[in-house]
Chain A
Amino acid sequence: MDQTYLALYPFIPQASEHVKGLGISVDRLLESRAFESARIRGKERIIEALEGTLTKPYPETLDETSFMIELLSYPFSRILLSCIDDNYLTRRYALKEAESSSTLLSQSDSQFLIEFSTEFGINIKPVTSTLFLLHFTDYLHLSSNMKELEWKLVNRKMDYGNVSLSQRDLARLLQEAIKFKIQDSLPLELSSELCEQLEPYLKEIKAKLEERKKNFERIDTSEVDTDSFPPCVKYAISQVKSGSNLPHSMRFAMTSFLLNIGMSVDEVVNMFNISPDFDEEKTRYQIEHIAGATGNTYKPPSCNTMKTYGNCFGEDKLCTKLSHPLTYYKRKQWLTSKQDSNQSETKDESGNEDSDDGIKE
């Protein structure tokens, strides 16, 4: 039986079954000299993901040894990722593993695509060798983070609940499925002793990770830069901090702004903690509502709307050039980073290829 695909797609249940069947203990995987190549490859997978592309071996060149290295390197990668347990790193790894799998899948035959989909619990119905049907609910589960218009359900051909997909479409959707699966399966629960033992591997990855993060940190939205807030939001925050009550429209504007630039619900709840009528449950409920169930759904109101409701305070020069508080924030950050980069050379790499932050236009 041809098992090559287990090494190419080591995250599928069959692959982990196969590894289990080999009867190799975690200790042996971590310590035995026999598996040193697998461990090195495991570390490399992560470094490759950080650097850009996770390479997969050519199926034709896999011999028994390289098959084992490839197959066993994956659980080792997962152990390393779990020890570091960095959200960005995990997501980046999941994305890159999924991307390179998708490239391979788009070249596979339809029979294999169907089997592969089944492994993921996705019920694909083939119509011809290159046309497939997928129930729209499955389609939505897989596509809802994909922002391009062509993936919107309204632009798909749908008949009696089934969405038509080309082979390329299917491979792209499977990429999402793979990404979710890897993300959701991490981190593993590991003892700190075990991680300490792996420090030599971890050190190298951590260094690469730091390097990468440094490159985009100043523009990364997860780091909130209060200096770049527009005057209206600054005003709202100062009102809250001084114990005044905000009108509902202003509360909404401020909350949706803060959520959109990457603050968590908890952080925003804490900002209101000082409000005189603070009721944590109610506040949390409202903020979660603004945040939506899965991401930042509501956009803050535009400058025009802010003016209409009398919530535009302290308009400055930059305000007059744009029409939305979020644009203000981004522009201001960009201006600041441009000033800084005149002093030191930095590259504006956002590092956010995987735009999973759920902001939908």
Chain B
Amino acid sequence: MDSRTRSYIKKKFKSYYNNFPLYLPHDFKDREWGFILLDEAFNAFMRRHKSFGSEGELHEYLTSMIPAHCYYSVAYYKYPSAANMSDKGWSGSDLIFDLDADHLPNAPNNYSEMLDNVKVETLRLYDFLTKDFGFSEDDIQIIFSGGRGYHIHITEDNIKDLDSNQRREVIDYLSAKGLNLSHLFHHKRFVPELQKDGDDLDLNINSGWRKRLNAYIISYLQDSLDSSNALEVLTSHKGIGERKASMIIDLCKDKKELNKIKEGNFNSLFNIDKNLILSIAEQGIEKIRLNIDEPVTADIKRLIRLPGSLHGGSGLKVIPLTYSQLKDFNPLVDAIVFNETPTLINIQTEQKFELNGMKFDLDVGIQEIPEFAAIYLMCRGVAEHES
């Protein structure tokens, strides 16, 4: 980014910060703040250990310094501006999840598809957070990061004092790391000591991972039964011959037996072949598990993007969303804050992208395109401003 482009971007960002309201995090006075300024963005130098006592102070900082990237700490501190981490007096942290397109398997190259995938993942995480973890909608803030994904912030009091290891357990839960099917299915054949302990836990068999996997196994069996080649599907599993496959088919056709399975009682299935059930469950785990960046959640002192600020690498707005807003949210339209004024830029490499419902296919050289698209390319460092 040359100096002319920089001063253009500064002017545009400044007018944004002058005209739009801020979203302040809970207890913002107890947070540490960090900024990367446009002039210093090339080496990602961060000015941190800042704190603000009022909304006005923060607003003044944003409009006078015009940062490219704005962050605040997930942590609450007694002395947020202490230069020394150990002097800050940590008193708790929000629970944060980072869903980034980069962490999803088979990521497409196309930005918009990438964002679609990560949105689906975010909705799935929301489901886990409300059902398994019991967070209420009010405690879950979903944020489009302005870049390649979404953040989820949880501000409920109970989670604030969890340490890094405990937060990693939450991630392990979501990503099924260490999930042990024998314990989960609680089957006496696998876990002999359960014979002593009674079956008390079975009362709650329909919860957590067990519930999700039950549903997966049942729909897998029903789908294979409904298909014309049930026998073939089932015998494709290791150790399942035609005899066992027909036993399973008969079992699932029996209404009474099927209801038992739906209630979570897999004994008759296990009696036919336990490995089949486990291998379907393994498949289910791969489909259901989430891909979330672990270090972000485990870091209780992390700085995270400020909702309402602009992402200096894209010019898009970091947007807080409710669950229902997320469903209809299209970041490549809804996160655009700049207008359509024709703007002259010099493009350095060929660019093909979609933004604000428009398709762009741009050659190298000087071009006039709408301001929002021009700023997007300049922020990405692939074009310079021309005047």
A binding-site residues for B, Cβ under 8 Å: 127-128, 130-131, 135-137, 140-141, 144, 149-150, 152-162, 164, 166, 168, 281, 284-285, 288, 292-295, 297, 358, 360
Contact = CB atoms under 8 A, between A and B. Distances in A.
Contacts of A295: 165
Interface in B263-312: 298, 300
Given A131-B204, A285-B85, A297-B164, 9 more contacts: A137-B159, A155-B183, A159-B208, A160-B131, A166-B198, A293-B300, A294-B165, A358-B165, A360-B168
Kindly list the 4 A-B residue pairs having the minimum CB-CB distance in the complex, ordered from nearest. A161-B134, A159-B207, A160-B134, A140-B166
B208 A156 contact: yes
Contacts of A141: 162, 166
A136 B197 contact: no
Interface in B160-189: 162-166, 168-170, 172-173, 176-180, 183-184
Contacts, number: 114
Contacts of B172: 152-154
A155 B84 contact: no
Contact of B200 (A153, A155, A166, A281): A166
A140 B163 CA distance: 9
Interface residues on B, range: 35 or more
B205 interface: yes
B210 interface: yes
Nearest to A360: B165
A297 B209 contact: no
A137 B134 CA distance: 11
B164 A293 contact: yes
B132 interface: yes
A130 B200 contact: yes
A136 B176 CA distance: 16
Given A144-B163, A157-B205, A150 B180 contact: yes
B158 A153 contact: no
Interface in B202-228: 203-211
Contacts of A153: 169-170, 172-173
Contacts of A294: 163-165
A293 B302 CA distance: 13
B207 A164 contact: yes
Contacts of B300: 293
B16 interface: no
B333 to A, nearest CB: 35
Given A164-B207, A284-B86, A157 B169 contact: no
A157 B134 contact: no
A144 B169 CA distance: 8
Contact of B169 (A140, A159, A284): A140
B204 A144 contact: no
7 contacts: A137-B158, A153-B169, A154-B177, A157-B207, A166-B198, A293-B164, A293-B165
Contacts of B159: 137
B111 interface: no
Nearest to A143: B169
Contacts of B164: 292-294, 297
A154 B207 CA distance: 11
Contact of B166 (A144, A150, A168): A144
A311 B172 CA distance: 31
Contacts of A136: 133-134
A157 B204 contact: yes
A157 B163 contact: no
Contact of B203 (A131, A154, A293): A131
B338 interface: no
Contacts of A164: 201, 203-204, 207
A285 B135 CA distance: 33
Interface string B136-176: 00000000000000000000001100111110111011001
Contacts of B209: 154
Contact of B207 (A155, A158, A292): A158
Given A154-B179, A157-B208, A160-B134, A166 B197 contact: yes
Nearest to B194: A166
A157 B206 CA distance: 8
Given A157-B204, A164-B207, A152 B197 contact: no
A79 to B, nearest CB: 31
A281 B165 contact: no
B313 to A, nearest CB: 24
Nearest to B183: A155
A155 B197 contact: no
Given A136-B133, A158-B133, A284-B86, A150 B207 contact: no
A136 B159 CA distance: 9
A135 B204 CA distance: 15
A70 B135 CA distance: 45
A127 B177 CA distance: 29
Nearest to A295: B165
A288 B197 CA distance: 42
Contacts of B166: 137, 140-141, 144
Nearest to A152: B178
Interface string B208-250: 1111000000000000000000000000000000000000000
